[in-house]
Amino acid sequence: SRLTRADLDALPAYVPGRNVADLARELGIAEAVKLASNEVPFGPLPGVAEAVARAVTESHRYPDMGVVALRDRLAQRYGVDPDRIVTGCGSVALAEHLAKATCLPGDEIVYSWRSFEAYPIISAGVGATSVRVPNTPVHGHDLQAMADAITDRTRLVIVCNPNNPTGTSVRKEELDRFLSQVPSDVLVVLDEAYREFVTDEQVPDALKTYGDRPNVVVLRTMSKAWGLAGFRVGFLVAQPEVAAAIRKVLTPFSTSLVAQAAALAALDAEDEVIRRCSLVISERERVTEALHKFLPDVPSSQANFVWLPLGDAAVPFGAACEQRGVIVRPFAGDGVRVTIGTPEENDAFLAAAESALTS
């Protein structure tokens, strides 16, 4: 007899990036560099620490469960009605709630693979079947194959744009065609965790372009460009009826008091966010160009990371970088994802990469 579900035994666990202090200790160096979790490398935005300190005085109280102030502020910033916004403990929790709100055991969730590692975990959590559609040879979504993979059991299709971990993105023309093929009773999630780093004008901002479609939900996070990974704030924009259904399955009070306060303060510092994103974007272009000298297949990235399609060399490459004090994210047999850090961190990575790839 067993207490937990047998099908979970085979499910790979979510693996967080390696601890940077542990690696520094192991190597006996002052500081290691972590480029493994797609965080933005700058400290808290101006005003965030103060807002959190103020919120802490109320820490014996539950937060506002309706998240009214933050939803109003997001509604104003993104030009949508607050009824259409749901916040959560990171956008990954919202993706989980979306699966709960749409799928019964045996239903299907279609997504591209390789993509965000949480998708298979979320699908398994609700007993849904993951339908993984292989990426194109140039590491992007194959939207036609994804549309073709939809069956009567499909409840959810997830398009990760830009895609984690390959950095590739789908353009408006392709998405328009794809969305016109998806049946109206299948929900399409456009996961735009990295939207703020997009510079290609042909990659649509889903909130502006598809926000009014009844079966589209746009997922955003404040963990990346907004620098709040540690506070766990994500939000989604859906039609009011869809948002209402998602609210029913939310873990109560899951956007914490400090998360709400930090998010409001971050939204007041958008000028600084834009400045920081421009630095990340210019570093992304510099790193990509430098990598192209010895790895011409690195796809052009629209996110705050780059993908090195190294196949079986991915794990040894990751280990070689670690030996040089740089933590990256290898995916066995496939490739390595490297987050864009500060210029100095990126230089440390490029030096490690060059010596690993040319030795």
Contact call for residue 239 and ligand PMP (CB under 6 A) = no
Residue with the shortest CB distance to ligand PMP: 90
Q: Is 116 in the site for ligand PMP (CB under 6 A)?
A: yes
| Closest CB to ligand PMP among residues 116, 331 | 116
DSSP, collapsed to helix, strand or coil, labels residue 110 as strand
Q: Judge contact between 261 and 52, C-beta under 8 A.
A: yes
Interface residue with ligand PMP, options 223, 302, 304, 346 (CB under 6 A): 223
H-run or E-run covering 308: strand 305-308
Which of 211, 234, 318, 335 contacts ligand PMP by CB under 6 A? Answer: 234
3-state secondary structure of 288: helix
Pick 85 or 193: Cβ nearer ligand PMP: 193
**Between residues 80 and 122, which has the closer beta carbon with respect to ligand PMP?**
122
Residue 206 CB, nearest approach to ligand PMP (Å): 13
Binding to ligand PMP by residue 38, rule CB under 6 A? yes
- β-bridge mates for residue 86, sequence order: 236
Contacting ligand PMP (CB under 6 A), which of 91, 215, 288, 301?
91
- Secondary structure, 3-state, 154-218: EEEEEEECCCCCCCCCCCHHHHHHHHHHCCCCCEEEEECCCHHHCCCCCCCCHHHHCCCCCCEEE
Helix (DSSP H) and strand (DSSP E) numbers for the chain: 13, 12
Query: CB of residue 90 vs ligand PMP: minimum separation in angstroms?
Result: 3
**Count of CB atoms situated within 10 Å of the CB of 279:** 15
Locate 208 and state its tokens. 């502006």
Q: How many residues bind ligand PMP (CB under 6 A)?
A: 13
Of the candidate residues 146, 160, 188, 238, the single one contacting ligand PMP (CB under 6 A) = 160
Q: Does 196 bind ligand PMP (CB under 6 A)?
A: no
CA distances from 252 to 60, 104, 242, 243, 352 (A): 16, 21, 18, 15, 45
Q: Candidates 39-47, 70-78, 85-93, 350-358: pick the segment binding ligand PMP (CB under 6 A).
A: 85-93
CA dihedral of 237, 238, 240, 245, whole degrees rounded to 10: -110
Touching ligand PMP, residues 266-325 (CB under 6 A): none
- Choose among 253, 245, 191, 185: nearest CA to 218: 191
If the CB atoms of residues 187 and 356 are measured against ligand PMP, the closer one turns out to be 187
Quote the least distance from Cβ 194 to ligand PMP, whole Å: 7
Residues binding ligand PMP (CB under 6 A): 38, 90-92, 116, 160, 164, 191, 193, 221, 223, 229, 234
